[in-house]
Amino acid sequence: MKSALWMALALVLTAIAPAGARDLAEIKATGTIRIATEGATPPFNYFEGEKLTGFDVDLGSAVAEKLGLKVEWVTLAFDGLLVGLDHDRYDIVVAGHGITPERQKAVDFSTPYVCSGAAIVAKEGGARTVADLAGKMVGVQVGTTYLTAVRDVPGVKEVKTFPKDTDALQNLVSGRTDVWISDKLTALTAAEKAPDAKLQIGDLLYEERYGMAFKKGNDTLRDAVDAAVRDMLADGGYKRISEHYFKQDIRCP
Ligand code: ARG
């Protein structure tokens, strides 16, 4: 009886367990690629009403089109995105992930698709430099390189973490924190959108190159995506999307 139950359980588990990462041929056979992002980081990926949009979303969709595929977008919390690749919930993550040696142990990255940096953001008259962070309350999003980096800054009074970057921004605006560390392009957009908040964008803690992430070893897919991005860098497609969201070309030099 016991073993029959176990066998039934094993059967159910096998039926619901996802298969291994889908390579390019398998994805092409289904006609649809699944791309994951966060959907809460304007202007990279965010919702306009019901509609998922942003630089990452337009670029990801354009890559899919180049590969002759439809896209099914999946959104989830930032700190769960890379883990989902390992569980084969989707094929790619496009969400502004900085390429770091730590992350490269877990996933593979495309060639860098954005060059940006971690900016120190405060209200007018507040912290501008790393030295200024001493004694300050700093807010950052969980799962980001900003959190890892700020922990190494000496003298910071307290690091507050938020599930969403927009919450970290709101806490700066409302005065619950003194500093927000985030992507400099996200910060520029936020400052422009809410001039009354009087945001001041200071020094960069470090520069960062963003990569699209793949399950480790999914080389056929990664190579095809790299080629599609290269095409768009050359044919003006990348520039058009970038200027639409940032009024500048954010490609790596
Ligand atoms: N660039 C930072 C990192 O790699 C943060 C990215 C935040 N992106 C997002 N969709 N919330 O950790």
143 CA closest ligand 1 atom index: 12
The CB of 39 under 6 Å from ligand 1? The reply is no
Backbone angles phi, psi at 6, to 5 degrees: -60, -40
**Which pLDDT belongs to residue 18?**
46
CB atoms within 10 A of CB 217: 13
Q: Ligand 1 mean position to 189 CA, how many Å?
A: 15
pLDDT of residue 153 exceeding 60, the answer is: yes
Name the pLDDT band for 4 (thresholds 50, 70, 90).
low
Q: Is 56 in the pocket of ligand 1 (CB under 6 A)?
A: no
In ligand 1, the atom with minimum distance to the C-alpha of 145 is 12
User: So what's the ipTM on this one?
Assistant: 0.95
Ligand 1 near 108 CB (within 6 A): no
3-state SS string for the chain:
CHHHHHHHHHHHHHHHCCCCCCCHHHHHHHCEEEEEECCEECCCEEEECCEEECHHHHHHHHHHHHCCCEEEEEECCHHHHHHHHHCCCCCEEEEEEECCHHHHCCEEECCCCEEEEEEEEEECCCCCCCHHHECCEEEEECCCHHHHHHCCCCCECEEEEECCHHHHHHHHHCCCCCEEEEEHHHHHHHHHHCHHHCEEEEEEEEEEEEEEEEECCCHHHHHHHHHHHHHHHHHCHHHHHHHHHHCCCCCCC
CA distance 92 to 37: 9
Amino acid, single-letter form, for residue 239: K
Tell me, in angstroms, the distance from the centre of ligand 1 to residue 29's CA. 32
Closest CA to 90 of 45, 16, 32, 143: 32
Amino acid identity of residue 103, one-letter, is R
Res. 143: pLDDT tops 80:
yes
Portion of the chain with pLDDT greater than 90, in percent:
92
Q: Which pLDDT belongs to residue 250?
A: 98
Rounded-to-integer distance, Cα 221 and Cα 244, Å: 27
Distance CA 105, CA 85 (A): 13
Establish whether residue 208 lines the binding site of ligand 1, counting it when its CB lies within 6 angstroms of any ligand atom. yes
Q: What is the pLDDT, as a whole number, of residue 12?
A: 55
User: What is the position in ligand 1's atom list of the atom closest to the CA of 98?
Assistant: 4
Indicate the average pLDDT of the chain.
94
Structure tokens that stand for 10 in this block: 């094993």
What does the pLDDT look like over 8-61, one tens digit per residue? 655 555 455 445 789 999 999 999 999 999 999 999 999 999 999 999 999 999
234: CA distance to ligand 1 center in Å? 26
Task: Give the residue among 52, 133, 141, 148 at the shortest CA–CA distance from 100.
Answer: 148
- Report how far ligand 1's centroid is from the alpha carbon of 32 (Å): 26
Q: What is the pLDDT of residue 6?
A: 65
Q: Is 97 in the pocket of ligand 1 (CB under 6 A)?
A: yes
Residues 131-158, mean pLDDT to the nearest whole number: 97
- 195 Cα–ligand 1 center, Å: 23
The alpha carbon of 41 and the centre of ligand 1 are apart by a number of angstroms equal to 8
CA-116 nearest atom, ligand 1: 1
Can you tell me the distance from the alpha carbon of 34 to that of 60, in angstroms, rounded to the nearest whole number? 10
Mean predicted confidence (pLDDT) in 80-106: 97
Check if 98 has its Cβ closer than 6 Å to any atom of ligand 1.
Answer: yes
Which residue, among 67, 64, 3, has the nearest Cα to 36 in the 3D structure?
A: 64
Distances (CA, A) of 43 to 7, 57, 121, 128, 173: 49, 10, 17, 23, 18
Amino acid at 84: G
Q: What are the pLDDT digits (tens) for 190-240?
A: 999 999 999 999 999 999 999 999 999 999 999 999 999 999 999 999 999
Residue 55 beta carbon below 6 angstroms from any ligand 1 atom: no
Q: What is the pLDDT of residue 20?
A: 72
pLDDT at position 21: 86
Tell me, what's the pLDDT at 25?
Answer: 96
How do residues 158-198 score in pLDDT, each as one tens digit? 999 999 999 999 999 999 999 999 999 999 999 999 999 99
